[in-house]
Amino acid sequence: MTDLRVCHLYPEHLNIYADRGNIAVLRARCRWRGIGFAAIACGPGDPLPDADLYYVGGGQDRDQLLIEDDLVGRAANLRAAIDDGAWMLAVCGGYQMLGHYYRGHQGDEMRGTGLVDLVTEAGPTRMIGNISIDCELRPGQPLTVVGFENHAGRTRLGEGVRPLGRVLHGHGNNGRDGGEGAHAGRIVGTYIHGPLLPKNPALADLLIAEALGRRHGTVALEPLDDRLEGMAHDAALAIAAG
C-alpha cells in the first residue's frame, strides 16, 4: 500500500500560529486519495523515526531554547535521512534553526543545525503581515504561495543557497533582498505560516508527491476538488496585494 510517513518534530514546543494545521492538510489530502498516512510525534529525547518528510514548526524564542540542544544533536541523523531521500519542511522558528545560528537583540546566540547555509539576526522591528511569493520547486512548475509572516529575525542566505521564492507582497527573509525562505535540495524553509498548507494545496501536493518518491518511486497524485482551497488562496493573495 502506498503510504506517507511524516515525523512531526517537537509538536508540543513548536506549534505557534496553528502550524500543526500543516499536518492536518497532509493527512487529509492523502486520505482523500486513499494514501495511507502516519504522523509520528518526536519530542526531546525520543528516537528519530524513519520518515519520508520531517516537519518542524515555529515557536517563541523560549520554546526554541528548550529544544535547541536536542535538535542540534539530531543534525547528523536528519542530514543522513535527507541524503537518503527524505524531505524536510521547516516553518518560521523551525526555519531559523535550519541555519548556523540565531542572534538576538542582546547578542545572545542560539545554535542551529547547520542543515542549510544561512544565519538569522534579530532586527529592530517585527515584520508582520500578509505575504505572497512566486516560487518554483520543480522546474517548469511555478507556484504562487500565500500566507502570513510575523518575525523579528532577518535571515541571510549563504552564497549559492536559493530562496524558496521571490516576494510579491510582504517582507520575506529580511525585507531587503526580495527573497523569502530557502530551498536547498530536499529542504524547504519559510517564514510563511498561518498555517502554510491550507491555502496552498499545490505546494502541499508537491511535498506529498516528492516525499512519497523516497519509498514508492514516481507517484501521480489524483486531482482533488480544490475550489474552496482556491478561493482561500485567491482571497489571501488579494489581501496581501492590498
pLDDT in tens, 133-143: 999 999 999 99
Q: Which is more confident, 62 or 139? A: 139
Q: Which residues are catalytic?
A: 92, 193
Q: Which domain holds residue 146?
A: 3-241
- Residue 48 sits in a domain of what CATH number? 3.40.50.880
Q: Is residue 173 within 8 Å of 163, Cβ to Cβ? A: yes
Q: What integer pLDDT is reported at residue 85 of this predicted model?
A: 97
* pLDDT of 242 above 80: yes
CA max distance for the chain: 52
The per-residue pLDDT for 65 is 83
If one counts the domains in the chain, the total is 1
**pLDDT, tens only, 175-186:** 999 999 999 999
What whole-number distance in Å separates Cα of residue 33 and Cα of residue 223?
9
For residue 144, how many other CB atoms are within 10 A of its CB? 18
